[in-house]
Amino acid sequence: MKIEKNVNILNKRAKFEYEFLEQLEVGIVLTGTEIKALRSSKASITESFCQIIEGELYVINMSIDEYKLGTFYNHKIKRERKLLLHKRELQKWERKMKDVGITIIPIKLYINDKGIAKLLITLARGKKLFDKRETIKNRENKRNLDRILKKV
Give DSSP secondary structure letters for 54-107. TTEEEEES-EEPPPTT-GGGPPPSB--EEEE--HHHHHHHHHHHTSTTEEEEEE
Residue 53: what residue type? I
Please give the torsion angle defined by the CA atoms of residues 63, 43, 30 and 4, in that order, rounded to the nearest 10 degrees. Answer: 170
For the chain, the domains span: 8-126
Cβ burial of 11 (10 Å; 0-12, 13-18, 19+) is buried
The CATH fold assigned to 8-126 is: Small Protein B; Chain: A; (2.40.280)
Q: What is the pLDDT of residues 5-56, one digit of tens each?
A: 677 788 888 888 888 899 999 999 988 888 888 888 888 888 898 989 998 9
DSSP 8-state symbol, 35: H
The whole-model pTM stands at 0.78
Q: What is the pLDDT of residues 63-97, one digit of tens each?
A: 888 877 777 777 777 888 899 999 999 999 988 88
Q: What is the pLDDT of residues 112-129, one digit of tens each?
A: 888 888 999 999 888 777
